[in-house]
């Protein structure tokens, strides 16, 4: 498909307005806007435009091997220590049932690569669904195209090379971001396309309407097509704050194609409205390599506004693995950063049930060069992080779930790696799919799911 011709701008806007294909109007929120789009027939699978070839990845460095059972001794024995069910009165926002039966819940989880990829969080969702609870994503983060990020709300996507990324956890100054803790930024041009296939697992349309959440200080224009229907242009008013563009098609949305035709947009994500609203919305905002510092670096008031009236009954933060990878880990510095993060979290969500999910145990790989081997150098960092999360979380009304304890405590990663089939990956940092699934089942059990 030729993206330049697909996104060719109409000569004038008047014919579209007169034909009723495009209706642009302010919403009740004042600065926000809406566009009614003439949808095409049911769309087929996305075929992404050709992108410049990426350079080949350099061969991975030899980071070492898992210690032998002789070197590990008792640590070679795999341990799975069942974690207790958390008192429902401590985590009311996660509790689905009351005296009258199931009740709606909005849940959000922020984290690093453990939450972003693999079956950890999907297993928690599957546990809910196995009891007949309908679950779906409400706020879709703009993390399309980011490596090792799983987006269950999307059947497929295409994103142009014109999009850049701002990450909260690497920001030097307070950053205005949406709940994804990242901004995707692009300027008008053929490489600013972003296509979403929003169909369900059975390839049937399930989305009724989409709100694009963005900021454009100088104003912009966005070209929109639903289900491969006629491309239509919407004007995005200038403003310093987060705004929304509601895309209201004449039928349900299978595919949504966007491209910036004028100006520059800072994209925060998408709010999805479903034909059949789920009982539970479960938003996962995972960013590989992220740390809790992302919460310390953001503007909590802006993040709250970027949700545009939405809120969460329960929030969970899953961080610590990347902080604990520093062999010169400073517990006091970590505690100060986590405290700042929790202060911002509570400013954004003062009433939500809060849960801190500690990092999994991490092991040390052996390079076989005769250097001294401290098998627990990373494990001790993880233990300090788990302890800090428990203590600091309690000050902010947050429960704590100890992932390292599930694995048997310090050094548990080795036993998980040597189990058949393995529960820990060969890097002794990330889990195998089986390990993430087991962890998801254990967390769901602790939450009473």
Q: From CA 178, how far away is CA 306, in angstroms rounded?
A: 5
Neighbours of 369 (CB within 10 A): 6
Q: How many CB atoms lie within 10 A of CB 26?
A: 11
Chain position carrying tokens 């070839």: 53
Q: How many CA atoms lie within 13 A of 138 on its CB side?
A: 22
Instruction: Tell which residue, 238, 203, 224, has the closest CA to residue 270.
Output: 224
Give the pLDDT confidence score for residue 27 in this predicted structure.
38
The residues spanned by each domain of the chain are: 16-40+64-446
Q: Give me the pLDDT at residue 98, please.
A: 75
Neighbour tally for 334: CB within 10 Å: 23
Cβ atoms 251, 113 nearer than 8 A: no
Whether 104 and 279 have beta carbons less than 8 Å apart is answered as yes
First to last CA, the chain: 46
> What is the tens place of the pLDDT at every residue in 16-75?
332 333 333 333 343 589 988 888 887 789 999 986 666 676 666 667 899 999 999 999
- Rounded CA-CA distance 347/189 in Å is 38
Whether the upstream peptide bond of residue 304 has omega within 30° of 0, thus cis, is no
Phi/psi at 325 (5° precision): -80, -5
- Return the residue matching tokens 């009723």: 20
Q: Which residues of the chain have pLDDT under 50?
A: 1-30
Q: Does residue 260 contact residue 266 with C-beta atoms inside 8 Å?
A: no
The per-residue pLDDT for range 214-259, each reduced to its tens digit, is 999 999 999 999 999 999 999 999 999 999 999 999 999 999 999 9
What is the distance, to the nearest Å, from the Cα of residue 321 to the centroid of all Cα atoms in its chain? 16
Which segments of 147-288 does DSSP mark as H helices, in order? none
Q: d(Cα 312, Cα 376) in Å, to the nearest integer?
A: 38
C-alpha of 3 from chain center: 28
Q: What is the pLDDT of residue 429?
A: 97
For residues 296 and 341, what is the distance between their CA atoms, to the nearest angstrom? 4
Class for the domain spanning 16-40+64-446: alpha beta
């Amino acid at each position: 498909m030729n993206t330049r011709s697909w996104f060719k701008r109409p000569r004038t806007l008047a014919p579209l307005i007169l034909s009723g294909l495009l209706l642009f109007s302010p919403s009740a929120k004042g600065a926000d806007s809406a566009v009614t789009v003439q949808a095409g027939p049911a769309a087929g699978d996305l075929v992404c435009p050709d992108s410049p070839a990426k350079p080949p990845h350099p061969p991975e460095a030899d980071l070492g091997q898992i210690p032998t059972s002789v070197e590990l001794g008792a640590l070679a024995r795999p341990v799975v220590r069942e974690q207790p069910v958390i008192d429902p009165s401590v985590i009311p926002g996660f509790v689905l049932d009351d005296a009258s039966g199931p009740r709606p819940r909005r849940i959000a989880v922020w984290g690093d690569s453990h939450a972003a990829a693999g079956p950890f969080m999907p297993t928690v969702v599957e546990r809910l669904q196995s009891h007949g609870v309908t679950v779906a994503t409400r706020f879709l983060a703009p993390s399309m195209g980011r490596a090792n990020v799983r987006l269950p709300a999307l059947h497929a996507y295409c994103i142009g090379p014109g999009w850049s990324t701002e990450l909260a956890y690497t920001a030097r100054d307070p950053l205005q971001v949406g709940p994804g803790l990242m901004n995707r930024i692009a300027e008008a041009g053929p490489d600013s396309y972003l296509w979403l296939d929003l169909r369900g697992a059975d390839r049937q349309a399930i989305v009724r309407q989409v709100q694009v959440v963005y900021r454009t200080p100088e104003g912009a224009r966005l070209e929109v097509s639903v289900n491969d229907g006629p491309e239509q242009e919407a004007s995005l008013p200038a403003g310093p704050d987060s705004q929304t563009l509601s895309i209201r098609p004449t039928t349900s949305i299978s595919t949504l194609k966007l491209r910036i035709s004028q100006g520059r947009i800072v994209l925060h994500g998408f709010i999805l409205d479903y034909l059949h609203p789920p009982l539970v919305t479960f938003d996962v905002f995972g960013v590989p390599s992220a740390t809790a510092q992302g919460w310390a670096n953001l503007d909590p008031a802006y993040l709250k506004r970027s949700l545009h009236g939405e809120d969460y009954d329960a929030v969970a933060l899953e961080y610590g693995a990347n902080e604990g990878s520093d062999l010169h880990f400073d517990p006091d510095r970590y505690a100060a950063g986590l405290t700042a993060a929790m202060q911002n979290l509570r400013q954004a969500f003062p009433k939500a049930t809060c849960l801190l999910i500690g990092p999994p145990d991490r092991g040390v790989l052996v390079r076989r060069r005769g250097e001294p081997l401290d098998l627990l150098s990373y494990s001790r960092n993880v233990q300090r992080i788990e302890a800090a999360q428990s203590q600091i979380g309690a000050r902010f009304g947050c429960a704590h779930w100890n992932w390292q304890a599930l694995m048997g405590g310090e050094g548990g990663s080795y036993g998980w790696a040597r189990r058949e089939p393995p529960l820990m990956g060969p890097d002794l940092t990330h889990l195998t799919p089986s390990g993430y699934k087991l962890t998801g089942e254990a967390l769901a059990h602790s939450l009473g799911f």
